[in-house]
Amino acid sequence: MKKICNITRNRLRWDKGIGRECFAEKEEYEVHFVVADNQKDEIKDGIHFHGVKQRKIRIIRGIFILLALYKKAKSIQADLYVLHDPELLPIALFLKKCGQVIFSSHEYYLEEIENAPNLSKWRKFFLKNCFQFLFWRIPRRLSGLILACSDQQTECFCPHSFVLSNYARIKQFPTVFPILDAANYILYVGNISERRGFSIILEALEECKQDIRLILGGNFELHEFYERCKKMSVWRKVEYKGYLDIESTRILAKDCFASILNFKPHINLKRNFSPIKLYEYMAMGLPVIAPNHYSFYREVILQKESIGICVEPNAKSLAVGIDRLYEDKDLCRTLGTNGRRAFEETYHFEKQINPFLQFLRNLYLKKID
C-alpha cells in the first residue's frame, strides 16, 4: 500500500484541517502524520502519529525541529509528502529526493503575519520577506499545492493545484438537536481575539434586551485580552469552555438557538475564503448571525441558502439581531433546517474526497497535463 506522510511544526495532531485531509487519504494510502508536539507515537483512527520533541532553548529550537521533522519523515519512506506549514518549505526540496512533495496552504500567510498582534514592526518585515523569498521560489519546484480557496490560485506559483474547501464532515455531525423554545444560549467557537471582533460580541450581549447567554469555546489569542474580558461585567453571561472538540461542541449546541461568526473584517474574509465554523454551525442546524460587510456571507447566508441573518458589524445591530432570533424560535428552526439541508446537499467534505484522491493519484503517477 502506498504511503503518504503529513508534516506539521505549528499545528496540533488533532488539527481539523489536517485531520480532514488525513481522513480522505486513508481510503487509498497508509497515512502517517509527523507532528512536533512532544507526544508519544501512536496509531489512532487508522493514522500513524509520530511525535517529535521540541527544544526548550528558543534560539536553536527552529533549526533542530526542522532537522528532527525531516529525519523522521525521511525514515517513513513515503511516496507522497504533504507539508502543512510555510516554515517547512526549507526541507521541501530535500524531501523531494524521497518522494513527491505537496504544500498544503491553510491560510493567507503574508496577511496573517501583517495582522499578528504579538509581532513587532521589524519582526513582521523580516518574516514577510523570508516568506516571500520561500514562496516565490520553492512551491513552483514542488509536485503540487493544496489551497484553501480559489483566490489563492492567482497567488501560487505551481501549475498543479487543488482547492480543498473548508467544509465539515457529515460523519462528525450525524444528528441535529431540535431548537427548544426555552433555549437562551448563543454559540461562538473558534479563535478568540480583539481582531476577530470578540469585543463586539460581548458588548452586544450586554445590550440585548433579553436574558441571552453565550457558550464560548476556543483559545484566546492573547492572555492579556482574556484577563481583560474576565473583568468585564458582561462576563457573568459567558460560559467559557476552553478548547472544544467537535463532539463536545455538538452536545453544547443542544442548548443554543443561534450561532455567531467573527465580527470584524478578519484578514481571510477579505478574500473568497469560507471559515469551517460556518459549515459546522450549518451541520448542527443552528441559524447563523454574521456581519454584512463580507459579500460571501451575504451570498450564502441570505441570498442562496437562507440559513441566518446578516447585520451591521457593531454591537447595537448585533444585539438587535440576537433578540430577534430569540423572540422567534420558529424562524430559528426554519433557518437551522435550511442550513442542515444545504450542508447535506452541497457543503460537506465528503463531496470533495474523490476529486482530491484523483489529484493525489495524478501527482503520484506524474500524469498531470
Compute how many other C-beta atoms are within 10 angstroms of the C-beta atom of residue 252: 20
**What cell does 86 get?**
510555510
Phi/psi at 204 (nearest 5 deg)? -65, -40
The Cα 280–Cα 172 span in angstroms is: 9
- DSSP for 188-213, please give it: EES-B-TTTTHHHHHHHHHH-SS--E
The Cα 122–Cα 113 span in angstroms is: 11
**What cell does 149 get?**
480557496
- The pLDDT, as a whole number, for residue 12 is 84
C-alpha distances (whole Å) from 24 to each of 175, 227, 350, 355, 359 are 22, 40, 8, 10, 12
Domains of the chain with CATH codes: 3-167+349-365 (3.40.50.2000), 170-345 (3.40.50.2000)
Q: Which residue has the cell 516571500?
A: 132
- The pLDDT, as a whole number, for residue 369 is 43
Amino acid at 129: N
The Cα 156–Cα 160 span in angstroms is: 10
Residue ranges for the chain with pLDDT beneath 70: 55-62, 108, 110-111, 117, 150-157, 265-273, 366-369
Q: Are 196 and 262 in contact (CB under 8 A)?
A: yes
Amino acid at 261: L
C-alpha distances (whole Å) from 74 to each of 30, 88, 176 are 15, 14, 43
**What cell does 51 get?**
511525535
- The pLDDT, as a whole number, for residue 57 is 55
Q: Which residue has the cell 523531494?
A: 96
Q: Are 144 and 161 in contact (CB under 8 A)?
A: yes
Phi/psi at 5 (nearest 5 deg)? -120, 115
Phi/psi at 8 (nearest 5 deg)? -140, 145
C-alpha distances (whole Å) from 168 to each of 122, 160, 347 are 38, 24, 8
How would you classify the pairing of strands 42-44 and 47-51? antiparallel
Amino acid at 68: A
Q: What are the strands of the beta sheet with 3-8, ordered from one edge?
A: 42-44, 47-51, 30-35, 3-8, 80-83, 100-105, 144-147, 161-163
**Residue 263: helix, strand or coil by DSSP?**
coil
